[in-house]
Each structure stands twice: as C-alpha cells, then as structure tokens.
C-alpha cells in the first residue's frame, strides 16, 4: 500500500519511495537519503503506518545552486532521536545512526502500560503448558516490550508440566521491541527459584534485576496470609518498600465478570512505610474469561493495566510490571494436572 505525499514547488522536483519502518508513527521525523545522496528530514503523514510506502518529493542536486554535502553512511528511513517527554511516543533503537536508546529511558516516559498474555493453543487444546509470553503496550496500543519465559533447563522444560501454575519456578526476561530485523533487547530479568512452600515456610519469591547492568533491583515475596492475596516488594537491601493486599471475598472479586458486576478488579500498591497509594494494576475481564467460566476450558491470556501513579524511577516501574507478572503466575495461571483437566481434550475425556 502506498501513500503519495503532495509535490510542492516546481516540476523539476522528483519523487522516490520510502518505507515506513516499525516503531515509527505519524508526526515523527525520518532522516532519509535521496537517490542522489542528499540527506533530508521527512515528517510521517497523518494516515501513514509502519510497513506503508510513501512517495517523497525532492529536488535533484544537479539543479541546486549550492553544492550538496556528500552522502553519509546513514541508511534510508532511520528514525532520528528526539528528547522524550511524559506521554510522548519514544523513538526506538538507532543501531546505525548513533547510540541505542536506553529501554529504561523509554519506560520512564510512560504513565501506565497494558500487559496482555498471549494465548497458547497447545494449552487450550491439550493442556500442554508452554512458556508464558506477554506483550506490553502503551496508552495508544503500541507494543513496546515483550516479557517471555525462558524454556531451557529441566525445570523450564518439564516443570511447567508437573507443577501447578502458582507453584512452578520460572526465568523470564522483559525486552524492548526494536523493530523488524533486530532482536529484542533484554533489560529486566525475573527469576523465581524452586521452593518447597509449606504454610509460612519457604514462601514463593521472585528476584528482579537490571539485565543491562547485572545489578539487582529488588525482590517480590508472597508472604503467608490465610485466604488473602498478598505481595511484599523489597529493595536490594531486603527492606520492605511496597505492599499489596486484597481479600478474595471482596465484593468486586465475588461478582467479577458477571453481567451486572465488575469488568475489572484493581489491586492497590502502597508504600510500606507511609501507607500511601503509589501504584496499582487492574486485571481486566475479557471474553476468554467468560468462555472459561462457561465451559471450564483453560483460557489463559490475562490482561492487566499497570498504573505507575507516584512511581517515577524507571527501575521501580519495571518492578511494578514484575509484580503484575508474578501475580499472574501466582494466582491466575493454571498448570500441571489442573491445566490438562481444564483443556479441551481433558473436558472431552471427562465427558
């Protein structure tokens, strides 16, 4: 599909095609190279999208009075970096045109993100547990990051088939999506070691670290609490920083998903010292949840909206994303025999 930009000026102008790369959207500036080696800036038209080809008008160098600088080694359609402000759409990695953008710099500009788990058909059909994957997008629905569970190792390959969803160990990376042709850049790592949890002993925990520096950010613990959703977040010095607590008997939980009830549940995250609300995440009710309730089929694919509210430090924004992911594993992910029983094959065999 092509979009033709209007030709301004004399008929001596010519046109050449430019392909809009991934991660570039209307209003952004592209630095492009003309067929005769000139460098010029082009504003992406309002109705152009990544993958669309546009026609750009230019005046050939031979018809200009002033000499043109020799072409630089900058490939066509490389997005230029620009200062980012709160709520702006960030530019992505500039592998050829300069230093790469820091993923934490991008995360620091965001007020909230949506985390959507990708449904795995093998889980729905036969209950074979696959590595969890989540797409993380901004307010405009643009996918910025991906969180993917690692599959290597005995516990990674077989642990998912043995342990129930809330008990299985995992290793997961959060990465910046850098566009077509480039591998995602890992910048957050989550590690949940195997624990033989019994009541208040050996409670489940996740260690969160900065993949770019290798330094720990903190850890997330599910402390013992009878009939309650609880999470405690600690810094790398083992000090309590954030807390989450919600009763499963809350009115919102009891009528969640009903036609007359709640279509989402909000979990408030509070400062462990002051008790102030500093962030939250909301679990949204979707059609897949309704199908699961009606049929009993395991329909993983949960959706969360993480609101950073008073959190401005990018590493702690990453920690809130990690809290939502751990919460999904701990309380809303099926696995092991339960996953097989709730699969399509399991339901057919039960009948």
pLDDT tens for the 351 residues of the chain, in order = 444 444 444 446 788 888 777 667 777 777 777 877 777 778 878 777 777 778 888 887 654 333 323 332 323 333 333 334 444 444 444 433 444 678 999 999 999 999 998 765 544 444 446 688 899 999 888 899 999 988 766 666 666 667 776 778 889 999 998 765 567 889 999 999 888 888 888 899 999 999 999 999 999 999 988 778 899 999 999 999 999 988 877 766 666 556 555 677 889 999 999 999 999 999 877 555 555 444 444 454 578 999 999 999 999 999 999 999 998 888 877 665 555 455 455 555 666
CATH fold label, 104-345: Porin (2.40.160)
Cα(264)–Cα(134) distance, rounded to whole angstroms?
Answer: 18
Q: What is the DSSP string of 210-270?
A: ETTT--EEEEEE----TT-EEEEEEETTS-EEEEEEE-TTSHHHHTTTSTTS-SEEEEEEE
Record the tokens describing residue 88, joined without a space.
Answer: 């702006």
Residue 198: CB partners within 8 Å, gap ≥ 6?
none
Nearest to 118 by CA among 303, 264, 334, 285: 303
Cα(96)–Cα(113) distance, rounded to whole angstroms?
Answer: 29
Residue 13 to residues 59, 199, 294, Cα–Cα distance (Å): 5, 76, 63
Nearest to 280 by CA among 246, 256, 239: 246
The tokens 């910025």 sit on which residue?
A: 144
Domain ranges of the chain: 1-80, 104-345
Element containing residue 15 per DSSP (H, E): strand 14-19
Residue 201 to residues 190, 196, 198, 205, 331, Cα–Cα distance (Å): 21, 8, 5, 12, 18
Nearest to 281 by CA among 312, 302, 257, 308: 308
Cα(129)–Cα(121) distance, rounded to whole angstroms?
Answer: 10
Contact 216, 208 (CB under 8 A): yes
Bridge partner residues of 252 (DSSP): none
């Amino acid at each position: 599909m092509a979009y033709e930009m209007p030709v301004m000026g004399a008929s001596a102008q010519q046109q050449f095609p430019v392909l809009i790369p991934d991660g570039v959207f209307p209003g952004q500036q592209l630095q492009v190279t003309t067929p005769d080696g000139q460098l010029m800036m082009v504003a992406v038209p309002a109705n152009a999208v990544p993958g669309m080809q546009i026609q750009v008008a230019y005046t050939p160098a031979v018809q200009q009075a002033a000499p043109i600088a020799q072409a630089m080694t900058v490939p066509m359609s490389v997005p230029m970096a620009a200062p980012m402000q709160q709520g702006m759409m960030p530019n992505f990695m500039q592998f050829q045109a300069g230093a790469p953008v820091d993923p934490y710099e991008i995360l620091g500009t965001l007020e909230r993100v949506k985390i959507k788990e990708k449904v795995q058909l093998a889980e729905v059909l036969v209950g074979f547990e696959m590595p969890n994957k989540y797409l993380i997008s901004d307010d405009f629905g643009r996918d910025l990051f991906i969180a993917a569970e690692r599959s290597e190792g005995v516990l990674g390959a077989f642990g998912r088939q043995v342990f129930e969803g809330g008990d299985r160990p995992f290793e997961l990376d959060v990465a910046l999506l850098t566009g077509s042709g480039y591998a995602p850049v890992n910048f957050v790592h989550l590690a949940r070691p195997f624990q033989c949890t019994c009541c208040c002993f050996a409670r489940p925990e996740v260690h969160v670290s900065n993949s770019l520096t290798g330094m720990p950010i903190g850890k997330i613990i599910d402390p013992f609490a009878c009939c309650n959703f609880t999470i405690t977040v600690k810094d790398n010095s083992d000090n309590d920083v954030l807390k989450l607590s919600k009763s499963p008997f809350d009115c919102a939980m009891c009528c969640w998903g009903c036609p007359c009830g709640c279509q989402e549940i909000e979990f408030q995250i509070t400062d462990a010292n002051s008790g102030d609300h500093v962030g939250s995440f909301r679990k949204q009710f979707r059609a897949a949840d309704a199908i699961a309730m009606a049929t009993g089929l395991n329909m993983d694919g949960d959706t969360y909206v993480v609101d950073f509210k008073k959190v401005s430090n990018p590493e702690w924004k990453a920690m809130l994303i990690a809290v939502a992911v751990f919460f999904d594993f701990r309380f809303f992910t099926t696995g092991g025999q339960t996953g097989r029983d709730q699969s399509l094959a399991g339901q057919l065999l039960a009948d």
